[in-house]
Amino acid sequence: MAKESSESRGCWRVLEFYSGIGGMRYSLMKAQVNARVVQAFEINDTANDVYQHNFGHRPYQGNIQCLTAADLDKYGADAWLLSPPCQPYTRQGLQKDTGDARAFSFLQILELMPFLLRPPSMLFVENVVGFETSDTHAKLIEILEKTNFITQEFILTPLQFGIPYSRPRYFCLAKRKPSSFVNECLNSQLIQSPPPLFEHFDTAADEDDSSKEDRQNLLQSCQPIENFLELKNPSSDIAVESVALRTDLSNDAPRTLGKNNGHDEYESLDQYFVHPSLIERWGSAMDVVYPDSKRCCCFTKSYYRYVKGTGSLLATVQPVKRDKTSLKEQCLRYFTPREVGGFSLFSRMSNFFEST
């Protein structure tokens, strides 16, 4: 969060709640913060398998609601990283907020804070847009103020960090007094980006000229999607993909196209192509992007079960005209898990950690 703090305190001891596959931990590594994750907490067994593979450390898999103040005190943590379940607050969900069972563990952790003998000096909370208007958020701010924390809150999108990924997220940074932020004028405020950042960039918006200029400047500063592709497509490979899509989609035999990241393992593209029948049914609802595009939409559901609303699809064959009528000829594919990870804001948060 602030380099001077890590230097004065030595190595931070960090607790990572709702650790998933380790996005928060990776952001610490990218920011080159002098920190050590002393414990991670995650109930999902599969996520813990991935976390253990990535970091050689398996998170605690018990129910967080069973933790006591004494349990948390024993870690002597300087900082907590929290990314609680977003389903109670997402705009497309039921928005049960504090009435959703998936919010209970986070509320329990908050309720423990006034009883800690060794409370953390810093907290970092991440969630979906919509959390900032929830009762859970109100409880978070209430308890942080009660326990002598100062806060700064942000709604940010990866586009602001040069990443062609347009999903906004909520962030709360908190420091316990006498610690302070570099930019104290932002204390106790929620800083939101201009609304055009969160709209579909291919649709006309009712905005003034300055907003349009800001939006275009933001897009121009982003890297193109092709910089994040794991399975890059030289012209010869695109031709192979095109033939394969039309003639061999039903064939389960694996096909390999080039080496994967310089290793001897090969990557099959078959599993990532969108079947023509799905394009025919859902094409009008698909968000199609191209290697030179500078934005894509969020990825929220399993690639192999859903198409509508799952996120952007990549055109591997450049059409003469980029429109919906030629989708079948564009050989659409899903992004690979590693490519989606490359768009993740957490993997590019180092500038945010270092500047606050």
Q: Report how far apart, in Å, the C-alpha atoms of 339 and of each of 50, 136, 291 are.
A: 16, 32, 12
CA distance linking residue 202 with residue 221, whole number of Å: 17
Residue 26 one-letter amino acid? Y
Point out the catalytic residue in the list 66, 86, 222, 296. Answer: 86
Contact at 8 Å (CB) between 289 and 201? no
Structure tokens at 262: 């310089």
CA distance linking residue 342 with residue 223, whole number of Å: 12
CA distance linking residue 54 with residue 262, whole number of Å: 19
Contact at 8 Å (CB) between 58 and 77? no
Q: Across the chain, where does the E strand assignment appear?
A: 12-17, 35-41, 79-82, 122-128, 149-156, 169-176, 190-192, 288-289, 313-315, 332-333
CA distance linking residue 67 with residue 110, whole number of Å: 12
Structure tokens at 53: 């593979």
Structure tokens at 301: 């559901």
Residue 185 falls in the annotated catalytic set: no
Catalytic residues: 86
